[in-house]
Chains A and B, each alone.
Chain A
Amino acid sequence: MMKKIVETYELAEGIVLDIKNLSMTFGGLRAVDNLSFQIKKNQIYGLIGPNGAGKTTVFNCITQFYKSATGEIIFENKNGEIINLNKVPVDKVINQGIVRTFQNVELIKDLTILENVLVGAHIDFKVTLFEEVFRVGRVRKEEQALRDKAMEVLKFLGIDAMKDFLAFGLPYGISKKVELARTLMSNPKLIILDEPAAGLNDTESIQLAHLIKEIKDRYQCSILLVEHDMRLVMDVCDQICAISFGKLLEIGTPKQIQQSKIVQEAYLGRTDE
């Protein structure tokens, strides 16, 4: 009779996500190589690196879209428990309190903006299938309550007037806002943004920076973002981790990263010919 060993994990005070020795290999290629960093509570954390550095891979490992990563991803979930995310199935990650956006905005084209945002609240629906099928009173109440919440979020992002537009063929900036709205529905502890400024012009980027800070304050969460737009990153992030070829280059404040020789080399290449 083997006793089930329950692994317990520890997180330092004030830390919400602790990445320990994360590695991910595809075939023969090491996409992520022994990467470690920590995200504090209520912190905006940036992940930067040249193209192909492995940033999206890191995301996918954290959110469990890739399952065969080695290393530990320790997280303090919504209930205050400390868990190893590697043990969580991909569709349960949001229950723990982590949501993400996608590089190619993945909205459901056949649904309206409001309905897309409601998808973000999927786990908040407590009615059973049986109740749904027979549309018991509780179903209507819950649906209405969550609709109201969705409208609030849409208002906050300034797109509530478009709630009944189909998600198909929307302007890029609006699509990104809808995806953002979707993530806010579940009251997350950590929001992961995959290149939120991609395709936005300067004005929109400034608005986005402002919005990200507002979200952090309003929802009291941490935000991890991957971005190429350096201005946004420097403006918005409290702490930055720079990687290249899947390996850690440097961790520090925006100012430290800007002045770091190692980071400059990785981006611009060596100049000591």
Chain B
Amino acid sequence: MYGHLPLFDGGYKMSTLLQLLFSGLEIGSIYALATLGIMLIFRTSSVTNFAQGIIGMFGGFVAAAFIMGAYNLTIIMVDNNITLPQNERWIVVFVLAFLLWYISNLVIKHTTLNKWWKLFLPIGIGVVISMVIYFILPAIWDTVARQLIIANSLADTAFISIVIGSDLTETVIKVFTVPDSSRMIFTYVIATLVLLMLGQTLHKKKFEAWKAYGISGGIGFVYILIQVIIGNNIWSVTLLALTTAIIVGLLIDYFVIRRAQKVNPLAKQIITMGIVIVFLGITPMLFEKVLVGADPISIPKFFPSGAINIAGASLSINSLFNIIVGLIILAFLFWFLQKTKWGLAVRVTASNPQTARMMGVPVKLVTLGSWAIAAMLATLAAIMYAPNVGILTPGYMTSIQVIAFVACIFGGFQTFHGPVLASYILAVVRNLLIFYGATILNFFLIRVQPDFGSIWGEQILYILILVLVIFRPYGLIGKKIVKKV
């Protein structure tokens, strides 16, 4: 875990200090991104988000799954002996899809179905059409319906279901033919439902099925486009993971946090802990393919090699990149908060949601946006951190989560810049304690073994924070709010 730190050589060389500083800045960036996400949600939704780390982990796993080929379009097709349709067959696929949407829309317009029926009608029709083709017209199954399955594989790749219930059909078929299909049912069904609801809710006023599917399909299409254009590398994968993070953030805010408005703050915290547990369960379920695969699950660095030399200290290009990206994003977000209209909306909501609503600030959009951004920040932090960890497990972001919270306490919950600053300070101090732990104690005439720092460094840091919190309960930059009796 301390692999990126140099071995203790008893020296106080400038180069060693710089090395520690650089690695501290890099890890500090990671902490800062996670911390800012927590603060954003805390100030706008008044929720202490214990799920920040786990959402990041989820995004990281999405990235890992893509880059390891589990959801890679080309690999899936080869595995399943599928070839992409030739031009005219794509037309067939889209025509069928459009027919379905049109029929569903017609049916919906001319009947008085309640919204849940409307949601599932297209799936039902899709299932029926697919079944008809599969069982009654097997001759054209290969040419036509199989294209639907390809589309479904696209959905597999895109991690969401796009088309028409061919999804469910294929699943049903697979249940009876492929042994390991049980998890697939739930993956597909849940994914379908989730995105259909997403599509539906964005058009709450006039529910039009085709719009719902259109949006879901559109998102899927974006995924495919990214893969096709940028290829399957860390950059495209990061984009995909960030897109997924946005969706996850929006879903959590819409379906959970918003429904829990009237609940007391402690209960809201517990809800986020529930979300953590759910994600701890969903991750092995959705990523079983990669978790039980032959290769250990991991994410490569942005820049695999290369380093520059500053005053004897070696700074890898990847680290430099992480630091710069971190600073740019933080700078951008601070600029956004301070200088733009939407940033003002966020700050107003952060200080008092009730008043904000009365002044016409679209508080619901602000919270949605905050969750989406926070999820993105967490995912980015997770992807940056992954190469440090090596082999990923569902709990790999837990330590980041803890330290991000520590940074929030340390920096105070009243400001945005406090915890961010605290993140960098914590990271650097942690490095210093781990590396120079023994030296510092020797300075106070306490003799300890040379690697005392690496054993006790982190614990001492935590203890120091606890002591600090006891004496300054409102953080470095916090202000005390006087309570009236």
Listed in ascending order, the chain A residues whose CB lies under 8 Å from chain B are: 56, 60, 65, 102
Contacts and interface: CB of A to CB of B under 8 A. Distances in A.
Interface in B454-485: 485
A249 B485 CA distance: 25
Contacts of B485: 56, 60, 65, 102
A102 B485 CA distance: 9
A89 to B, nearest CB: 16
Contacts of A60: 485
A102 B484 CA distance: 12
Nearest to B484: A56
B262 to A, nearest CB: 16
Contacts of A56: 485
4 contacts: A56-B485, A60-B485, A65-B485, A102-B485
A11 to B, nearest CB: 28
B370 to A, nearest CB: 32
A56 B485 CA distance: 9
Nearest to B482: A26
A77 to B, nearest CB: 23
A235 B467 CA distance: 56
A90 to B, nearest CB: 11
A198 to B, nearest CB: 16
Q: Please name the 4 residue pairs, one residue from A and one from B, whose CB atoms are nearest each other, closest first.
A: A65-B485, A60-B485, A102-B485, A56-B485
Nearest to B485: A65
Nearest to A26: B482
Nearest to A103: B485
A29 B463 CA distance: 39
B210 to A, nearest CB: 49
Contacts of A65: 485
Contacts of A102: 485
B267 to A, nearest CB: 15
Nearest to A63: B485
A266 to B, nearest CB: 24
A60 B483 CA distance: 13
B29 to A, nearest CB: 40
A65 B484 CA distance: 11
A28 to B, nearest CB: 14
B153 to A, nearest CB: 56
A68 to B, nearest CB: 13
B482 to A, nearest CB: 9
A65 B485 CA distance: 9
Nearest to A106: B485
A62 to B, nearest CB: 13
B213 to A, nearest CB: 48
A118 B32 CA distance: 50
